[in-house]
């Protein structure tokens, strides 16, 4: 077992893990953060996307030991008390959710994008979502939702 210290949704956690334990399993099984979903488990579908040190990464393609001393943000860490994050609100109001399985991954990919590019254009959002598969709603609405959230977050930051 290997000792690992990870900051998950602003809280430092210390755990002992097997060398082969995947980050997605640590999040879901140890910390019950089941908002992060597993799809293909091979890095193709993007359903397990989280933010690691501010960047979008696939939690099925990371070992927990690789996240040692890092900062993780999952979908559960986005909302502020009972208030949804602008990205979550935009996915609702734009009807960008159907079955919802791919949604946490898309929102976390969008979250990392907006952090680095507060004013993304259509093309950048498409590149951002290129690693996120949706099998029901399609991509147009999630793209619109991310653009809308970016605009709202920018306006809010000027308030």
Partner 1 sequence: MRNTPDIKEFHRPKTVTEAIGLLSQQDNGTVLIAGGTDLLPRRQSGRTGVTKNKLVDISGLGLNYIRETQDAFLIGAATDINTLASSPVFKTSPYTAIIEAALAHSTLTLRNRATLGGNLCNASPHADLALPLLVLDAVLVMEGPHGQKTINLDNFFIGPHCTVLEPSEILTEIRIPRMPEKSGANFIKLTRQHTAIDMAVVNAATCLSIKNGICISARIALGSVGPHPFRAKKAEAFMENKTLVKNTLQTAALFQEAAGLAAKEASPIDDIRATAAYRKEMIPVLLQQSLGKSLERSLS
| Contacts with partner 1, residue ranges (CB under 8 A) | 2, 18-22, 25-26, 29-30, 41-44, 46, 49, 52, 55-58, 60-63, 65-66, 68, 109, 113, 127-128, 130-132
How far is 139 from 52, CA to CA, in rounded Å? 24
DSSP class per residue in 48-115 = TEEEETTEEEEGGGSBGGGGTT-EEE-GGGTSBTTBPPHHHHHHHHTT--SS-SSHHHHHHHHHHHHH
- Return the structure tokens found at 146: 């991310």
Which C-beta is closer to partner 1: that of 20 or that of 81?
20
CB of 138 to partner 1, least distance (A): 15
Report the residue number, 15 or 84, with the smaller CB distance to partner 1. 15
Which of 63, 66, 73 is closest to 105 using CA atoms? 73
**Of 18 and 140, which has the nearer Cβ to partner 1?**
18
In the complex, what is the shortest distance from the CB of residue 156 to partner 1, in angstroms, rounded to a whole number? 25
Q: Which is nearer to partner 1, 17 or 153 (CB)?
A: 17
State the minimum distance, in angstroms, from the CB of residue 118 to partner 1: 16
């Amino acid at each position: 077992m290997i000792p690992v210290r990870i900051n998950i949704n602003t809280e430092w956690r210390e755990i002992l893990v097997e060398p082969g334990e995947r980050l997605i399993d640590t999040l879901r099984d140890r910390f019950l953060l089941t908002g992060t979903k597993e799809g293909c488990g091979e890095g193709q579908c993007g359903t397990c996307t989280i933010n690691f040190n501010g960047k979008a990464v696939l939690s099925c393609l990371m070992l927990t030991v690789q996240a040692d001393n890092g900062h993780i943000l999952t979908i559960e860490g986005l909302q502020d008390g009972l208030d949804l994050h602008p990205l979550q609100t935009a996915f609702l109001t734009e009807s960008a959710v159907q079955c919802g399985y791919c949604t946490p991954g898309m929102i976390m990919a969008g979250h990392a994008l907006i952090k680095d590019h507060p004013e993304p254009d259509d093309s950048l959002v498409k590149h951002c979502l290129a690693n996120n598969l949706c099998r029901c709603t399609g991509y147009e609405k999630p793209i619109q939702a991310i653009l809308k959230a970016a605009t709202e977050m920018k306006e809010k930051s000027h308030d």
